[in-house]
Amino acid sequence: MQERLDKIKKEYEEITNQLNSGKILDSTKLTELSKRQAELRDVVDLINRLEEVNKQIKENEEILKEQDNELVAIAQEELDNLKTEKIKLNKNLEVSLLPKDVNDSKNVIVEIRAGAGGDEAALFAANLFRMYSKYAESKRWKIEIMNSNRTGIGGFKEIIFSVKGNNVYKNLKYESGVHRVQRVPETEKSGRIHTSTATVAVLPEAEDVEISIDPGDLKIDTFRSSGPGGQSVNTTDSAIRITYLPTNLVVTCQDEKSQHKNKAKALKILKSRILFQKQEEDNKKRGDERKMQVGTGDRSEKIRTYNFPQDRITDHRIKFSVKNLPGVLSGKLGVLLGKLEEEDQKLKLKSS
């Protein structure tokens, strides 16, 4: 372990010296080094603090050999605190040294689709979109709608949007799956509780260097976009439908009035879906790696229930429930996401 820690400190020092030298003129290389330095900084801070704590522990253990009772008492109290801190530092260091998800620092494309439940499911999809929007706002992330299919009463049959910011995928990757809501529908007044669902997919945004698409593999159609009830959104054929012929994957974008902008958004969604499928296939080839994770990210997996009558949200993967459903739907996702990450780390530490 010590050899590994020394290697990390050495790498961090070398990168820092390179960046401070002013000799790196290649912007791509500069970006790569800066990114790697940022990745290592927190680990190096933990290592330095652990070394300092170990040094202080030795010093206090020497003081315990003294005859001065008052000084020994002070040293013992400080020693107890240092040993507690050392345990926490070692735990944090173990977590920080776990293999990193290559997608953690990426932006994402989120796809929300209404499932079982008709209009109520579409309204629930809108609730989820608002929840993620508010959470993104609290993190100072930027959201851009890529495509949407609205219903006449304010719901979404489908909404696809990008989220850009710091470590977006790391925070939202646990959200993929089936979300279930239990409540008295706004569309009814009978007072009966209904169960509806919506599916969420969180895709790491593909970079151009990761996915290259042969234009000959694409079939691109244009059509006139429309809103609820077939009402025309505009009078030109600006909507785009792209079919990726090798897998018959279809992406549609119609929110922009510009055909060029709709095409650019559709291609971005398509590349992210292709990247996600490729990574899923790679995971399966590696065997049981997915069993080390909280959930599988499978869209068919029921991951969470939002129970309005009992003001309770339950995440089924980790058997964890929280109250304050209105607060969570207003973007206060921190407790849930933090618990999911914590359980994921426990599984990975156990397997390692």
What is the per-residue pLDDT across 70-89, written as a single tens digit (0 to 9) for each? 999 999 999 999 999 999 99
Tens digits of residue pLDDT in 177-194: 999 999 988 767 677 888
What string of DSSP letters covers 27-45?
HHHHHHHHHHHHHHHHHHH
Q: Are 167 and 104 in contact (CB under 8 A)?
A: yes
pLDDT for position 349: 83
pLDDT of residue 62: 93
Higher pLDDT, 223 or 175: 175
Of residues 36 and 128, more confidence is placed in: 128
pLDDT at 93: 92
Mean pLDDT of 275-284: 81
Residue 287 pLDDT > 80, yes or no? Answer: no
Residue 312: in which H helix or E strand, if any? Answer: strand 312-315
Q: How confident is the model at residue 2 (pLDDT cuts 50, 70, 90)?
A: confident
Give the tokens for residue 343: 């359980």
Mean pLDDT for the stretch of residues 190-207: 89
% pLDDT > 70, the chain: 91
Give one DSSP letter per residue of 195-242, joined into a string.
Answer: EEEEEEEEEEPPPTTT----GGGEEEEEE--B-GGG-BS-SS--EEEE
Task: State percent of the chain over pLDDT 90.
Answer: 61
Distance CA 180, CA 151 (A): 19
What pLDDT shows up at residue 96?
A: 87
233-263 pLDDT tens trace: 555 678 899 999 999 999 999 888 888 999 9
Output 209 or 45, whichever has higher pLDDT. Answer: 45
Q: Are 233 and 134 in contact (CB under 8 A)?
A: no
DSSP SS3 for 160: strand
pLDDT at residue number 285: 67
The per-residue pLDDT for 286 is 61
pLDDT at 172: 96
pLDDT of residue 226: 67
Q: Are 181 and 195 within 8 A, CB to CB?
A: yes
- 1 pLDDT band (50/70/90 cuts)? confident
| CATH pick for 108-351 out of 3.40.50.2000, 3.30.70.1660, 3.40.718.10, 3.40.50.800 | 3.30.70.1660
Structure tokens at 76: 């013992």
Over range 202-222, report the average pLDDT: 87
Q: Name the segment(s) of the chain with CATH classification 3.30.70.1660.
A: 108-351
The mean pLDDT of 216-242, rounded to a whole number, is 73
Q: How confident is the model at residue 352, as a pLDDT? A: 66
Q: What is the mean pLDDT of the chain?
A: 88
- pLDDT (0 to 100) of residue 300: 63
